[in-house]
Structure 1
Amino acid sequence: MEDGAWLKSRDPLVHQMGEGGVSDELKSLYMKEELDDPADEIRTILPSEIPGGSIHVLVVVPKLRVENDHDWLSIVRGLHRGVVEYNEASAYLPHKLSKSFSNAAVGQMEMERLKKNQLLIDFAPIENGEAFWSEETQMLADAITDEAVFNAFVTPYFNAILDVYGLVLVNSAKCGWLSESTPVTKNADITPNGFATHRGMYRGKPEPKDRVQRPSGFRFGVAEEDLFDCLILFESKIKIDNSGIGQVVRYLENLCPKESASAILFDCRSFWLIRSERAVFTEIQRARWTTKGSKSLFENFIHGNISHLAARLSLACLHWHVNVAEGDAFLGRGAYGRVFKVTGRGGEDFALKIVEKCSVGRLYREEKALATAQRTGLTISPVRKLFETLKARRYCCLQLGNLCLNQWNDSKC
């Protein structure tokens, strides 16, 4: 209050507000859309001995709230900058509006934009860091002139890293699985060299008869369309050029046109780690295989781009002691979730459903409905309790099913 006049602790109004109450007079102010003179309105409910003049409200904000507000404003400013940068990037990419550009032209435009915006980063060596492979191995790679042979050469190195994170590398160069779409039609399938994903998130295919000598442990297959958001694209070239970069742009346009995605473009001398948002490259880091620290760079990229669903599938299998049927596990989306065929230690087949947290209420209702209808002839019944994964991003449900007509019956999943 002005002139040092404050409400006294004995004032009824102060006592009422201290108890969490609000006077009828103050409530009446809430209902007014406009106040011609807020000070006059407030003065009518204050003790008469308070002198006239300006009325001020003193608010004590907890320190933590101030810090949180500052953090929030910083986040908002960062998001705003990101939106501006993305809009600029989108406007700069005419290939997103026309299919008439060649891969080489698209790649050239992309490289110019990346360099202009300083989004193309050359990895600096790390003292005492481990290289992806040795100089001796590099000499072997340099001698390879066939792309399929190079894929066979490099795949075991990729497998060793991916296995640590519960992922597998699936070779798909001979299997057309990614449709080059337009808003109206779908054209011929295009064929990325491969992709990394969870072992339960691809459809296995037989090894191609191309006379390429491959070590054991190779996987061949195609990605599941409903799981495109759960993979890291791999594309190989004998030598990376604008055409190869444009090709990856095309892949990501059709793979995740409205979401974030990641890809690794590599040749005999180097690898490029690509992050994109709505098919627009947001950053590329490139390094030579023999650069010190390049192995940890590659590992960190894999770790940072594992899909949440792949991580939750691994966690759910570990929790319930079940295994996915590799290369033939994905049953479909089901109701509000994605469903996988898993096998228990005793050989029992189960349907494992994973849903987002926003759909957990539906999952509980589904569990209750199945439990209620167990004696009505349904072929599926819930087993064990629902399981909440870490960070509460997804919930999992395990269901027992019977095989009908030699097919997995997932109509009730």
Structure 2
Amino acid sequence: MSASVEQAIEQVAEAIARVENEIEEINEILKNPTISDVDKAYYRQKESQLRQEKSQLRQEKADIRQKELLLIERTPMPSIPENQSVNTPFLEDMQKDITVIKESVSKPDRATPQKTPASFGAEELSRLEGLGNVHNPDEKGIGDAVLTTEQSGSLLQLETEHQVVAFLTPFLTAVFQCNGSSNRVLVNSEEYKWLKTSGDEKSTYNQKPDMFICHKSLYQKRDPFAATGDSKLHQMRRSTDIFGQLSHWNLRRFLCVVLEAKKDISNSAFGQTINYAAHLSFEESGPITVRLVLFDRESFWLVETVKGRASSVRKCRWVDGGSKSRLEKFMLQDPLIKVLDKACFELGLVPEENGYLGSGAFGLVFKVCNQNGVAFALKIVPDVDDNVAELQKQMSITNEAKRKCPHLIVGAEEDSFRKFESYY
């Protein structure tokens, strides 16, 4: 990438950071309970303007990368003397530029790489190592470890992947703060094919990652699979363990993290894991960033992918100091799901398991209950474009219809609208 392009991108990044700092300062001001309504309106308007500026800067950054790609592709290649090697530093640098820029602005044409998991995993790991994006365990890490030495010793004695998953389930539940007030759940999907590999939702080729973490409204509960012939696995299970699958394929962009277990991590295991990300990110409805945890009896790898391709790997051991914090902070949290929880808290509602009811042009609808057990449909929309204005318009139309036809139309609950400025 040319120096001028790098400089332009750096300037835009600095501008984005400046805007984010200003937004953060405004959010702190808005938290002050003594602020007047006039000042509050002023700062909210200013925050809205800053968010628009931030969006424009991000688009500018993407445009710069796209223009650089076009310039490189249109630049005629220099003639090479017959006695000179083709592998000149200039050509090598240009090829690297093209590769990096293409990766940042384009999606893969196919979700499934045409290679075995082992060869794909080895190739991707080598590529990341060449880029300096593979980080080895930190033996001098500071902070709590996921496991004690004694617990790690017990884990090393296990004989099957199912046992590894069962043993680590309570530790992972604690690290990611699942099954509590967070409304997050750690779901065991070892035997449930929910990850689509084609347009056929019921394809026999669909895959089944061992575990995933999501909001409790986004998964469908299933009965625990039979622990046939494995009495130890049966003993290791707990009544609080959750089994199931993602309730709808379109919800995959709200996954916090996907986890895959092996007795021992290998190139094949790594290839299989990043292939999950390729399928999850395939098509426009998929997430741009997917985070996965590949783990075995001794260690875990924090794998980040962008647009279906691995971008970094951090290797950790269960007993390393600070491994607990690294694992916890690796999880993604979508702003729209934060809004769901905030809305439920503000309105005195409880989100239901498998509560996803559907999505429209600009929002998601969930089943929730009030303190009396009465069910409601709660619609959540991102505060971008004209979504909030459209939602308010829908409420007005529905309430007017309820007024005219009280026995036929169910309207919106009174005082049931909330806007949460800090999430978008």
Q: What TM-score, normalized to structure 1?
A: 0.71
Query: Aligned in 2, Cα 1:392/1:104: closer, same or farther, shift over 3 Å?
Result: closer
Counterpart secondary structure, 2:398:
helix
What is the CA–CA distance in structure 2 between the aligned matches of 1:175 and 1:70, rounded to whole Å? 42
Q: Of Structure 1 and Structure 2, which has the larger fraction of its residues in helix?
A: 2
1:391 aligned to 2:422?
yes
Letter in 1 for 2:148: S
1:299 aligned to 2:328?
yes
What is the CA–CA distance in structure 2 between the aligned matches of 1:141 and 1:120, rounded to whole Å? 25
Partner of 1:87 in structure 2? 101
Letter in 2 for 1:72: A
Which of 239, 244, 257 is the matching residue for 1:221? 244
Partner of 1:310 in structure 2? 337
Partner of 1:332 in structure 2? 358
Question: 1:216 Cα deviation (Å)?
Answer: 2.3
1:25-40 pair list within 5 angstroms: none
Query: Aligned in 2, Cα 1:73/1:196: closer, same or farther, shift over 3 Å?
Result: closer
Question: 1:267 Cα deviation (Å)?
Answer: 0.7
Which of 297, 301, 305 is the matching residue for 1:276? 305
Partner of 2:44 in structure 1? none
> Could you say what the CA RMSD is over the residues aligned between the two structures, in angstroms?
3.1
Query: Aligned in 2, Cα 1:388/1:109: closer, same or farther, shift over 3 Å?
Result: same
Partner of 2:392 in structure 1? 364
Q: Of Structure 1 and Structure 2, which has the larger fraction of its residues in strand?
A: 1
Query: Aligned in 2, Cα 1:99/1:70: closer, same or farther, shift over 3 Å?
Result: closer
Letter in 2 for 1:133: L
Larger radius of gyration: 1
Partner of 1:191 in structure 2? 208
What is the CA–CA distance in structure 2 between the aligned matches of 1:73 and 1:155, rounded to whole Å? 39
Q: Deviations over 1:2-23 (max 9, x none)?
A: xxxxxxxxxxxxxxxxxxxxxx
What is the CA–CA distance in structure 1 between the aligned matches of 2:298 and 2:374, rounded to whole Å? 47
Question: 1:151 Cα deviation (Å)?
Answer: 0.6
Partner of 2:411 in structure 1? 381
Query: Aligned in 2, Cα 1:277/1:98: closer, same or farther, shift over 3 Å?
Result: closer
Partner of 1:239 in structure 2? 264
Letter in 2 for 1:296: S
Query: Aligned in 2, Cα 1:94/1:306: closer, same or farther, shift over 3 Å?
Result: closer
Query: Aligned in 2, Cα 1:336/1:244: closer, same or farther, shift over 3 Å?
Result: same
Preserved CA contact (<8 Å) 1:197 1:310: no
Larger RCO: 1 or 2 (CA < 8 Å, sep 6+): 2
Partner of 1:42 in structure 2? none
Partner of 1:24 in structure 2? none
Q: Which moved more, 1:113-122 or 1:314-323?
A: 314-323
1:319 aligned to 2:346?
yes
The total of aligned residue pairs comes to 323
Which of 306, 312, 316 is the matching residue for 1:287? 316
1:142 aligned to 2:145?
no
Q: Which runs of 5+ in 1 are unaligned?
A: 1-67, 394-413
Letter in 2 for 1:365: K
Partner of 2:372 in structure 1? 346
Partner of 1:261 in structure 2? 290
Identity among equivalent positions (%) equals 26
Preserved CA contact (<8 Å) 1:90 1:280: no
Q: What TM-score, normalized to structure 2?
A: 0.69
What is the CA–CA distance in structure 1 between the aligned matches of 2:12 and 2:277, rounded to whole Å? 37
Letter in 1 for 2:218: M
What is the CA–CA distance in structure 2 between the aligned matches of 1:283 and 1:78, rounded to whole Å? 22
Question: 1:161 Cα deviation (Å)?
Answer: 2.0
